[in-house]
Structure 1
């Protein structure tokens, strides 16, 4: 097997640490030399201590031509100075800029993992067509291998000829199943829901608060735990102000901020809820399923690939607060059904969402470049 010098490009070091680290370590253990280009927000030193070469570059998580062009030039310089054999890009804006830079630098292999195409069915027609066209153009002219976590994205990319089928891969998504396992709740108490995600509008957090307000008006003891950061690097800086106000108005909500031990947190709750407007293939749902929790999620790409409606949980329509509240109440009022859904979710997670399989597919690709 030939070993490569691979540059991983993503927006933030926290993304590399929390989402990409298992792949990075597997590549390193296979003999590849791994560098990471991203913005340093505090996690870069920990990644450097693991032997990864860190390149601190500012990456705006939105379209800003002046800043974006500076990022492209920085990545081009890194690629030329360090003579990387391959570039592997992640996250929408960083992936676009990284591929343009790799093409300009003449990098031999350009690999893009689409954790979820940025365009989705809930967008307006003009915005959808614009982002769709950009993704398709970059896939055709600035990508050698396109890896899709979502089955729906894979089928679309294949049908619309983003790349030749031999250059497309349905990658899937998964978690370390040895860390997540079912366990009875360690504390007795009222039925408790859990949300894990960024505190931004597109995660559906404001609809969740309104729905929970309806739930607690019927079942006064039910609780909601919320884990997630309010990061200064987010494009959405307004939702957090509404969020702070609303959680003071609604009873029985525990806001935990960032939580490191997610398995332990899941063992403290009865069900998981994620009413996102847009997702790739969310790991948080897989983690909840692997701990045998029923899941309520929105009927969107990614979520509907994980949750089987009526069997492992429920799918609700985006921004439908009334339907969300009704499904939450059904779980509260039918704990036996909730437990049965949790067990079915556990079996599905064990069968379809093993991180080791996802990593193996990527290792095989890089070994054959």
Structure 2
């Protein structure tokens, strides 16, 4: 009988885009892979990949009635599946999944902290509240904690987030991407870049900027738009803003700004499947986010030879070495974004050096295969 592992996320897209390599490796290692997530456009794709998918609504916000229903439905499903391992992801889904796993008496529960919800930008009261939720959910509901960020690894270990019996079960897995195929700069076709320039009527000497993320305020997109508006006089600077406006997080003022406003030096692409084409065409990737875990988008941009401008926050500051492969800037600072864009616009030697350094750093540090292997070793250890 095959060992069973259940992956729990709020969104089906998260499982498809971020966990596919791990799940494929789990299948190869002989596991039966189950996925519990909200229903969505990716469910059928996940089924075709060989996973058993169980759609259960999991909200991404605290809503006691809805959260309680989710716990009941997840725990019922876990009792039916009888998994050897439950592996949870993303803040709310991870908490609800761990409660359900405890109720269902699953043998091993693993939590991957893609980025703890608490962060230095919060008020002391709010930080303390979410810190303690993470800490005690770890101590009473979790057997292993995997962290992508080194800061989170140190913080959880020093804070004794796991019980004494599990005190050796912290693992820093980092984050990684597909450097062999999808984000392999060396194998890329330059004609893709030419097509993008042609489609958007851009001259070949245009400095291309890129942003990837949900179009919500906390990703810093408003700060970036403000910075770009102050660069309207530069006809040879253009931004590709890649990402959608999630209905569950829709900000009407931001929606209007994006959908109705005219921005001559910005192209809003919406959600697209071929982000690698745009990153290959880009010179500078900008992520002025207020909170991150260990952002994959920065790694993807580094692998495609982009200089990086990012806020000085957890995760981003592990990937970006200031003045080496990019710049770290203050939160909510359109003026600093503009300043750093113009510095690289004016100094093409520095821009070139940053791009090469990004590429080497991504290649040396962020191979998805190594991240997956670390996790699978624990899975195999658990069932042995």
Using the size of structure 2 for normalisation, the TM-score is 0.92
Which residue of structure 2 lines up, in the alignment, with residue 354 of structure 1?
367
Alignment partner of 1:344 is 2:360: no
The aligned counterpart of 2:205 is 189
State the Cα distance separating 1:239 from its structure 2 match: 5.1
* CA 77–39 in structure 1, closer or farther in 2 if over 3 Å, else same: same
The secondary structure found in structure 2 opposite 1:117 is: coil
User: What is the 5 A alignment of 1:234-245?
Assistant: 234=249, 236-238=250-252, 240-244=254-258
**1:152-171 correspondence runs (5 A):** 152-163=151-162, 164-171=166-173
Is the 8 Å Cα contact of residues 204 and 276 (structure 1) preserved in structure 2?
Answer: yes
Q: How many residues align?
A: 365
The answer as to whether partners of 1:199 and 1:239 remain within 8 angstroms in 2 is no
Q: Residues 245 and 255 of structure 2 are in contact (CA less than 8 Å); yes or no, is this contact kept in structure 1? A: no
Two-structure CA RMSD over aligned residues (Å): 1.5
Aligned to 2:281, the other structure's residue is in SS state coil
1:358-369 correspondence to structure 2 within 5 Å:
358-369=371-382
Could you say which residue in structure 1 is the equivalent of 2:247? Answer: 232
Which deviates further from its counterpart, 259-268 or 94-103? 259-268
Q: Is the 8 A contact 1:197 1:229 kept in 2?
A: yes
1:231 CA drift (Å): 1.6
CA distance in 2, matches of 1:125, 1:242: 33
What is aligned with 1:290? 303
For the Cα contact (< 8 Å) 1:293–1:345, is it kept in 2?
Answer: yes
Provide the residue aligned with 2:200 in structure 1: none
List per-residue Cα deviations over 1:170-195 (Å, max 9, x = no partner): 11001011122336654513111001
CA deviations on 1:146-188 (whole Å, 9 max, x unpaired) are 0010000001111111125411111100101112233665451
Q: CA offsets per residue over residues 54-87 of structure 1, 9 Å max, x none?
A: 1110011101010000000001100111111111
Q: What is the match of residue 6 of structure 1?
A: 5
> What is the SS of the residue equivalent to 1:318?
coil
**Superposed, which structure 2 residues align to 1:29-108 within 5 Å?**
29-108=28-107
Q: What secondary structure sits across from 2:239 in the alignment?
A: strand
- The secondary structure found in structure 2 opposite 1:215 is coil
Shift of 1:222: 1.1
**Aligned residue in 1 for 2:338:** 325
Distance in 2 separating the partners of 1:240 and 1:189: 31
1:208 aligns with 2:224: yes
Alpha-carbon separation, structure 2, partners of 1:31 and 1:166? 26
Whole-angstrom distance in 2 between the partners of 1:215 and 1:199: 21
Deviates more, 1:155-164 or 1:291-300: 155-164
The one of 248, 266, 270 equivalent to 1:257 is 270
In structure 2, C-alpha distance between the alignment counterparts of 1:264 and 1:222, rounded to whole Å:
18
Contact preservation (8 Å) 1:3, 1:367: no
TM-score by length of 1: 0.96
Q: 1-side partners of 2:20 and 2:332: how far apart?
A: 33
Q: Which moved more, 1:331-340 or 1:312-321?
A: 331-340
Deviation at 1:3, TM superposition (A): 5.2
